[in-house]
Amino acid sequence: MTRTGFEYVPTEIEPKWRKKWQEAKLFDVEFNPDLPKKYVLEMFPYPSGRIHMGHVRNYSIGDVMARFFRMKGYNVLHPMGWDAFGLPAENAAIQNKVHPRKWTYENIANMKAQINLLGVSYDWRREVTTCDSDYYRWEQMMFLRMLREGLAYREKRPLNWCPSCQTVLANEEVGDGQCWRCDSKVEIKEMNQWFLRITKYADELLEGIKGLNEWPDRVRIMQTNWIGKSEGAEIDFTIEKQTSKIRVFTTRPDTLMGATSIILAPEHALVSELAKNTVQEKDVKAFIDKMKNTDKDERSSETAEKLGVFTGSYAIHPLSGEKIPIWIANFVLTDYGTGALMAVPAHDIRDFAFAQKYNLPIKKVVQKTKEKDDDTELPFTDDGFSINSDEISGLTTKDAKKKIIQILTAKKVGTSKINFRLRDWGISRQRYWGTPIPIIHCAKDGIVEVPESELPIRLPENVEFKGTGGSPLAQDPQWQNVKCPKCGGDAKREADTMSTFIESSWYYARYCSVKHGESAVNKADCDKWLSIDHYVGGVEHATLHLIYIRFFHKLMRDWGWVQGDEPVKQLICQGMVYKDGAKMSKSKGNVVDPDDLVAKLGADTARLFVLFAGPIEKDLEWNDQGVEGCFRFLSRVYRLSLNSNQQLQGIKYPDSVTSAEAKKLQHLLHKTVKNVSCDIERDFSYNTAISFMMEFVNYLYLIDLAKADTQTLGVFKKSIETLVLMISPFAPHMSDELWEALGHKGFTLNESWPGFNEEFAKVSEREIVFQINGKIKDRMQCADGTSDDELKNLAMANTKIKDALSGAQPKRVIVVPNKLVNIVV
Ligand code: ANZ
């Protein structure tokens, strides 16, 4: 192919097309009942100021989907917005004395411009900004509805407190005893908090996981464990010389006869009473104090040393009537089950270690076999057969559990019980930049709702950002001091704001409408677009956001706002972007700025690279050569298209394709379309789809148009046009530029995705003759276009040839492609 001066200069092409797209309102979408629909969604960003490569990857993945499906004939909803409340805005306010609102909206403007530079096909008319009162007012309304329905409540509870952020954290926001945001050590603090009763949906949230068959397994497992359903029993133990009882939760009621102590969490309400006036009282107090400052995860970790103290009191075994000691220990947690357990050292690893350490009796009540007394080693934690357990002796673990629950129920000392690890969702935050909780506290009337007609309750303006303690909202007396809506007396507004995870729990439904009118979401629009067909985001949201979004969907369903039980059909968790072996981040100093890349090599190259560098769900290692490789590939496509376009003026697609060269090209064209389409559609395997296009381009470069027959020229022309359409979702600016240059009007996005003919795509076969010194020895069917080297290898490996050669070394091997291999000896 002759080279002429077509130079690929993305900075000249890209702004021009973005302007045209905008003018044509190319990305605005209305629902069309005649077309199948797709709702493609990327998790919306926190407006931190600038987008990073992780964002570029996220949005490029979604954009290729959206564009591909649109070309495939779907009605595609592809919206974007801002998860705009949150702590960084406040920290910026503290550090730079800029109001969180100003900071946030400026960041949004910056980031929107950056995203638009990438040419992502968002329908911005649907943009959601969660810190707009027009958005959060609905959240306040939902909160009041939940309050009325008993789904929101206030309670004093020990909660995770981050001393550095000065705020309460949800369990999900604590990992390894540290704050998810600032890594400070989390403390436990008793506080009045608002909760959402997510546990009401625990069973449904768990059951629903079974139907999420297009979610990654790891996310389904994480959610299952997070919800943590345990089936077992609650059993009451009376306390010696007292009227009160201790209730324990156990998943192994069949081991009741092996219980040799009761162990309470140090925070258990009965502890101080039990130890009162005993010799142990001082030790117990000291132990409780020590535990206060020990992190929960640390206490319950498998490797942590088991520590405890005897309370000085005894419990009475409900069946044997025996006296067993009551202890407190570090590994018993206050917020699980009843905060108390019966220790069965013979059959529980932790209890075993504890009993050994403190010399508590160990009683074997389960063994592996049905035999009289086998030599099962302790602790034995598997299922087996009950022994030394009166009525249930001899039964399998499963039957023994059932039977013992019957016995306990009849005696009114126990019942079957299902426990969930999932806790109600604590949503109060002592923060400014969040949705105000629409509640008024009145000395006379207690908790009073703000009347809905007064919503939204906007944030006070008169607040100084100092970063020290408490709720900033309480600093503005004018805002906080109000009259009680019920009695008219002096009252105070609730000064906490809501967890920002609430905003991201329902935004997807709001996107369904362009105009909302007087409701949070529009049912008719939601019915049209939901559920989300493909949801793309990071796996770090597996147990936070992705549980809350499912919870809110069920809430909204129960309110009749949306249909269907689940919000997300397919979840795609993209990998992270690494450079020099570390996650790309400002603190590591290994950031590649998307704007720089776009300015230098163009948005299309940036998009192509983040998709070509590996499978979307795998982590991606940044590679400057890889980026340049992508730029070169696009340049090659650009030059090839424009050069050939000059030479192919007036050439038409042939009526029939008969020449060998044209046939081969036709085959490769159809095969490429097939491979690219399948890879995108089946599992969004973009990197392999791009490879197929690269291979095809390499082949096209081998064809000498000056020598090719007219059929080949016709198929070549078709090949270029098809290639331009196939690259369009990945490199939309360049594709539209080429499409125009090839003489077409409009945008590639409005063209149909190229089809293929299965017959042409099939590998056609040729009969290859194997000869020695010109004499035919064998024949074989080989794929059309099998390479010379491959044919040579096939011939040398052929048994008839091997026999005939009987060890003789060939002097020469002559290959005539698609016809024969002749071995000269
Ligand atoms: C007796 C027993 C015998 C137990 C046995 C286990 C094995 P999951 O499966 O996670 O639900 N437990 C109960 N409450 C606890 C608390 N607040 N903190 C720590 N551990 C607690 O765990 C349930 C089991 O964990 C319960 O069953 C109890 O020990 C313990 F051979 O009771 B088991």
Beta-bridge partner residues of 447: 441
What is the C-alpha to C-alpha distance for residues 162 and 179, in angstroms, rounded to an integer? 6
What is the C-alpha to C-alpha distance for residues 702 and 690, in angstroms, rounded to an integer? 19
Exposed, middle or buried by CB within 10 Å (0-12, 13-18, 19+), for 805? Answer: middle
Element (H, E) at 53: helix 53-71
pLDDT for the residue 467? 62
What is the C-alpha to C-alpha distance for residues 179 and 165, in angstroms, rounded to an integer? 9
In this prediction, residue 4 has a pLDDT band, given cuts at 50, 70 and 90, of low
Beta strand extents in 421-531 (DSSP E only): 425-426, 428-429, 439-442, 446-449, 481-483, 490-493, 497-498
What is the C-alpha to C-alpha distance for residues 126 and 134, in angstroms, rounded to an integer? 13
Expressed in angstroms and rounded, the spacing between residue 368 Cα and the centre of ligand 1 is: 21
From the CB of 420, is ligand 1 less than 6 Å away?
no
Exposed, middle or buried by CB within 10 Å (0-12, 13-18, 19+), for 800? Answer: middle
Q: Sign of dihedral through CA atoms 635, 636, 639, 641? A: negative
Contact 601, 631 (CB under 8 A): yes
Nearest partner of 773 among 711, 824, 727, judged by Cα: 824
Expressed in angstroms and rounded, the spacing between residue 249 Cα and the centre of ligand 1 is: 7
Beta-carbon contacts of residue 12 (< 8 Å; ≥ 6 apart): none
pLDDT for the residue 2? 42
Average pLDDT, the chain: 93
Nearest partner of 253 among 57, 106, 69, 404, judged by Cα: 404
* Cα angle value 559/449/136 (rounded, 5°): 60
pLDDT digit string, tens, across residues 44-72 = 999 999 999 999 999 999 999 999 999 99
pLDDT for the residue 596? 94
With a cut of 60, say whether residue 1 has pLDDT above it: no
Q: What is the mean pLDDT of residues 318-333?
A: 96
Question: DSSP of 655-680, one letter per residue?
Answer: SS--SHHHHHHHHHHHHHHHHHHHHH
Lowest model confidence (mean pLDDT) among 191-200, 458-467, 572-581: 458-467
Contact 424, 196 (CB under 8 A): yes
Single-letter amino acid, residue 653: Y
Single-letter amino acid, residue 96: N
With a cut of 50, say whether residue 3 has pLDDT above it: no
The structure tokens 């069920």 sit at 554
From the CB of 630, is ligand 1 less than 6 Å away?
no
Q: Sign of dihedral through CA atoms 28, 748, 600, 44? A: positive
Which of 224, 252, 385 has the most ligand 1 atoms within 8 A of CB, as the residue to mutate?
252
From the CB of 419, is ligand 1 less than 6 Å away?
yes
What is the C-alpha to C-alpha distance for residues 696 and 716, in angstroms, rounded to an integer? 11
Beta carbons within 10 angstroms of residue 20's beta carbon = 14
Nearest partner of 426 among 160, 665, 232, 70, judged by Cα: 160
Single-letter amino acid, residue 208: G
Element (H, E) at 724: helix 710-727
With a cut of 70, say whether residue 271 has pLDDT above it: yes
Go through the chain and tell me how many residues it has. Answer: 825
From the CB of 333, is ligand 1 less than 6 Å away?
yes
pLDDT for the residue 762? 86
Contact 564, 600 (CB under 8 A): no
pLDDT for the residue 172? 66
From the CB of 574, is ligand 1 less than 6 Å away?
no
Q: Sign of dihedral through CA atoms 431, 432, 435, 439? A: positive
Beta carbons within 10 angstroms of residue 783's beta carbon = 12
Six-digit token pair at 694? 């690269």
Higher pLDDT, 463 or 233: 233
pLDDT for the residue 257? 98
What's the distance, CA 531 to chain centroid? 16
Q: Whose CA is nearest to atom 32 of ligand 1?
A: 250
From the CB of 337, is ligand 1 less than 6 Å away?
yes
Six-digit token pair at 145? 């509805």
Expressed in angstroms and rounded, the spacing between residue 815 Cα and the centre of ligand 1 is: 74
Q: Sign of dihedral through CA atoms 678, 681, 683, 688? A: positive
Contact 88, 98 (CB under 8 A): no
The domain locations on the chain are 33-130+502-574, 137-197+424-498, 229-420, 623-760, 765-824
From the CB of 288, is ligand 1 less than 6 Å away?
no
Which class is 623-760 in CATH?
A: mainly alpha
Task: Please check whether the domain covering 137-197+424-498 is classified as CATH 3.40.50.620.
Answer: yes
Expressed in angstroms and rounded, the spacing between residue 199 Cα and the centre of ligand 1 is: 20
Beta carbons within 10 angstroms of residue 620's beta carbon = 25
In this prediction, residue 125 has a pLDDT band, given cuts at 50, 70 and 90, of very high
Single-letter amino acid, residue 118: L
From the CB of 456, is ligand 1 less than 6 Å away?
no
Q: Whose CA is nearest to atom 22 of ligand 1?
A: 251
229-420 architecture in CATH?
Alpha-Beta Complex (3.90)
Contact 467, 165 (CB under 8 A): no
With a cut of 80, say whether residue 170 has pLDDT above it: no
Q: Whose CA is nearest to atom 1 of ligand 1?
A: 250
Which of 341, 349, 365 has the most ligand 1 atoms within 8 A of CB, as the residue to mutate?
341
What is the C-alpha to C-alpha distance for residues 631 and 122, in angstroms, rounded to an integer? 24
From the CB of 355, is ligand 1 less than 6 Å away?
no
Expressed in angstroms and rounded, the spacing between residue 376 Cα and the centre of ligand 1 is: 21
From the CB of 233, is ligand 1 less than 6 Å away?
no
Taking only Cα atoms into account, the Rg of the chain, rounded to an integer number of angstroms, comes to 35
Contact 65, 41 (CB under 8 A): no
In this prediction, residue 42 has a pLDDT band, given cuts at 50, 70 and 90, of very high
Which of 227, 248, 249 has the most ligand 1 atoms within 8 A of CB, as the residue to mutate?
249
Residue 824 to residues 777, 791, 807, Cα–Cα distance (Å): 13, 15, 13
Q: Which atom of ligand 1 is nearest to the CA of 265?
A: 17
Q: What is the mean pLDDT of residues 111-140?
A: 97
DSSP 8-state symbol, 759:
H
Expressed in angstroms and rounded, the spacing between residue 298 Cα and the centre of ligand 1 is: 17
% helix, strand, coil for the chain, step of 5? 40, 20, 40
Q: Whose CA is nearest to atom 2 of ligand 1?
A: 252
Nearest partner of 272 among 235, 326, 324, 321, judged by Cα: 326
In this prediction, residue 487 has a pLDDT band, given cuts at 50, 70 and 90, of very high
pLDDT digit string, tens, across residues 491-532 = 999 999 999 999 999 999 999 999 888 899 999 999 999 999
Question: DSSP of 610-659, one letter per residue?
Answer: HHHSS-TTS-EE--HHHHHHHHHHHHHHHHHHHHHHHHTTT----SS--S
From the CB of 253, is ligand 1 less than 6 Å away?
no
Six-digit token pair at 422? 């999932």
pLDDT digit string, tens, across residues 301-318 = 888 899 999 999 999 999
Q: Sign of dihedral through CA atoms 50, 578, 696, 6? A: positive
Expressed in angstroms and rounded, the spacing between residue 219 Cα and the centre of ligand 1 is: 25
Q: Whose CA is nearest to atom 26 of ligand 1?
A: 250
Expressed in angstroms and rounded, the spacing between residue 392 Cα and the centre of ligand 1 is: 20
Six-digit token pair at 572? 């795609």
Q: Sign of dihedral through CA atoms 588, 590, 596, 597? A: negative
Residue 65 to residues 411, 678, 682, Cα–Cα distance (Å): 62, 13, 11
Expressed in angstroms and rounded, the spacing between residue 341 Cα and the centre of ligand 1 is: 6
Percent of the chain with pLDDT over 90: 79
Which of these CATH numbers, 3.40.640.10, 3.50.50.60, 3.40.50.620, 3.40.50.2300, describes 33-130+502-574?
3.40.50.620
Expressed in angstroms and rounded, the spacing between residue 615 Cα and the centre of ligand 1 is: 42
End-to-end CA distance of the chain: 39
Q: Which atom of ligand 1 is nearest to the CA of 344?
A: 3
Helices (H) and strands (E) in the chain, counts: 26, 32
Six-digit token pair at 749? 């996005």
What is the C-alpha to C-alpha distance for residues 530 and 508, in angstroms, rounded to an integer? 9
Expressed in angstroms and rounded, the spacing between residue 260 Cα and the centre of ligand 1 is: 14
From the CB of 250, is ligand 1 less than 6 Å away?
yes
What is the C-alpha to C-alpha distance for residues 427 and 58, in angstroms, rounded to an integer? 28
From the CB of 252, is ligand 1 less than 6 Å away?
yes
From the CB of 616, is ligand 1 less than 6 Å away?
no
Expressed in angstroms and rounded, the spacing between residue 360 Cα and the centre of ligand 1 is: 18
Which of 224, 336, 366 has the most ligand 1 atoms within 8 A of CB, as the residue to mutate?
336
In this prediction, residue 223 has a pLDDT band, given cuts at 50, 70 and 90, of very high
Expressed in angstroms and rounded, the spacing between residue 163 Cα and the centre of ligand 1 is: 31
Higher pLDDT, 680 or 188: 680
623-760: same fold as 229-420?
Answer: no
Q: What is the mean pLDDT of residues 232-241?
A: 96
Beta-carbon contacts of residue 443 (< 8 Å; ≥ 6 apart): 489, 490, 491
- For helices 53-71 and 660-683, the axis angle rounded to 10 degrees is 120
From the CB of 348, is ligand 1 less than 6 Å away?
yes
Expressed in angstroms and rounded, the spacing between residue 236 Cα and the centre of ligand 1 is: 15
Expressed in angstroms and rounded, the spacing between residue 250 Cα and the centre of ligand 1 is: 5
pLDDT digit string, tens, across residues 378-424 = 999 999 999 999 999 999 999 999 999 999 999 999 999 999 999 99
Expressed in angstroms and rounded, the spacing between residue 342 Cα and the centre of ligand 1 is: 8
What is the C-alpha to C-alpha distance for residues 741 and 180, in angstroms, rounded to an integer? 52
Q: Sign of dihedral through CA atoms 68, 69, 75, 78? A: negative
pLDDT for the residue 58? 97
What is the C-alpha to C-alpha distance for residues 487 and 489, in angstroms, rounded to an integer? 5
Nearest partner of 502 among 423, 429, 422, judged by Cα: 429
Six-digit token pair at 226? 């997070």
Expressed in angstroms and rounded, the spacing between residue 325 Cα and the centre of ligand 1 is: 18
From the CB of 717, is ligand 1 less than 6 Å away?
no
- For helices 603-612 and 732-741, the axis angle rounded to 10 degrees is 120
Q: Which atom of ligand 1 is nearest to the CA of 253?
A: 1
Percent of the chain with pLDDT over 70: 99
Expressed in angstroms and rounded, the spacing between residue 444 Cα and the centre of ligand 1 is: 43
Expressed in angstroms and rounded, the spacing between residue 470 Cα and the centre of ligand 1 is: 37
Residue 370 to residues 362, 384, 387, 398, Cα–Cα distance (Å): 21, 8, 9, 14
With a cut of 70, say whether residue 184 has pLDDT above it: yes
Q: Whose CA is nearest to atom 9 of ligand 1?
A: 230
Nearest partner of 63 among 438, 557, 802, 603, judged by Cα: 603
From the CB of 647, is ligand 1 less than 6 Å away?
no
From the CB of 332, is ligand 1 less than 6 Å away?
yes
Which of these CATH numbers, 3.40.50.620, 3.10.20.590, 3.30.365.10, 3.40.50.2300, describes 765-824?
3.10.20.590
Q: Sign of dihedral through CA atoms 287, 292, 295, 300? A: positive
What is the C-alpha to C-alpha distance for residues 672 and 283, in angstroms, rounded to an integer? 76
Which of 226, 251, 360 has the most ligand 1 atoms within 8 A of CB, as the residue to mutate?
251
Expressed in angstroms and rounded, the spacing between residue 259 Cα and the centre of ligand 1 is: 12
Beta carbons within 10 angstroms of residue 807's beta carbon = 5
